[in-house]
Copies of this chain bind each other. A is one copy, B any other.
Amino acid sequence: MRKNKYCVELDVVDGSFPDRYMGCGYGREYTIPEMFERIASIDKITGVELVSNWQVTPENAPEIKKLCDDHNLEVVSILPDHFSQKKWGKGAFTSTDKNIRADAVQVTKTLMDLAAEMDCKKLTIWNGQDGYDYPFTANYMKELEWLQEGIRECAEYRKDIQLAIEYKVREPRLHCYLSNVYSTLMFLKEVNCDNVGITVDFGHCIIAHENPAEAIAACKLYGDKLFHVHVNDNFGVWDDDCITSTEHVIETMEFMYWLKKTNYDGWFSFDHYTPRLDGRDALIEGVNWMEDITALVDKIDDAKMEEMFKNVNAVEMSKMVRELLFH
């Protein structure tokens, strides 16, 4: 069986995330050292993804790195905060204020340096505030160009750090620019830097009405651009970030199959949001779902699958999946 590499964002095991109605968070708050302990207690998790400001800053980086080392956790990726401070509210790389745009670039460069210091090879770039809300409010062409320029400037700053762009169709903006796998691939073609690629988040595919396995295939076909993977699940409408695979069992199977078929050897990062659950317990479940599904998918005979692709008979596929699941 394949051995997947699993990591997680620290706050996935915290309990104090706010939403619009529960400003105080649903559960209890954990300190950063506690979060590390909680994560490290799960054998199969061997890395962390860190959010800047929330968890890591230039100031506390040595301390955080030590916590990683003490717990044998690799720093897989750092996510620059382009979304949680008031200044980013109307856009970071696409702000109409050129100082804010410059700031978005500067923050990213600083974190690229910080990543290098922490033996981390990758930033996850999530442009959650780079979009628009109402019709007639955005100059799409201009703002998309600013986004290209900003990302390109960061990418060229140092080529030893990868920038893995995580697309999402909406939230917190009502419409985000990098909304699905194809808008992001097209964007990357224009940016044209080897060290810029994609983070595919399973749930973001679903809410973009995009089949996750097709997204993986598209990343391969259009430039081999898959740099990172987030896993979770939802009910098809909103980025619920449920426990991985608890909704889309068969799509997750196909997703894992295509990751194997396209030789993905990167990390699986759990991007859960489980405010009413113990985040650590939910995370263990996520790992178990991933392990169980991987074991199943590894049973698929590749030669037989290639034959099935030639026949395109959904009855055969149904039978294969059903027998894998139940027999």
Contact = CB atoms under 8 A, between A and B. Distances in A.
The count of identical subunits is: 4
Given A174-B235, A246-B321, A314-B243, A276 B326 contact: no
Interface stretch (A67-75, A85-93, A112-120, A193-201): A85-93
Interface in A206-247: 208-211, 213-214, 217-218, 220-222, 235-238, 240, 242-243, 246-247
Contacts of A289: 318, 322
A72 to B, nearest CB: 25
Contacts of A320: 136
Contact of A135 (B21, B209, B254): B254
Contacts of A327: 292
Given A142-B309, A285-B315, A315-B281, A175 B276 contact: no
Contacts of A86: 22, 24-27
Contacts of A213: 135, 140
Contacts of A305: 136
Contact of A222 (B23, B175, B186, B246): B186
Interface string A302-327: 00011011111111011111100111
Nearest to A252: B135
A292 B325 contact: yes
A227 to B, nearest CB: 17
Interface stretch (A12-20, A36-44, A58-66): A12-20
Given A22-B84, A238-B170, A314 B134 contact: yes
A265 interface: no
Contact of A18 (B18, B306, B315): B18
A131 to B, nearest CB: 10
A89 B26 contact: yes
A254 B136 contact: yes
Contacts of A217: 140-141, 144
29 contacts: A19-B19, A20-B172, A22-B89, A24-B84, A24-B86, A26-B89, A27-B86, A89-B275, A89-B276, A133-B242, A133-B276, A134-B318, A135-B254, A136-B321, A137-B314, A138-B214, A140-B213, A171-B238, A175-B214, A186-B186, A189-B189, A208-B209, A246-B314, A249-B249, A249-B250, A277-B315, A282-B314, A292-B327, A296-B326
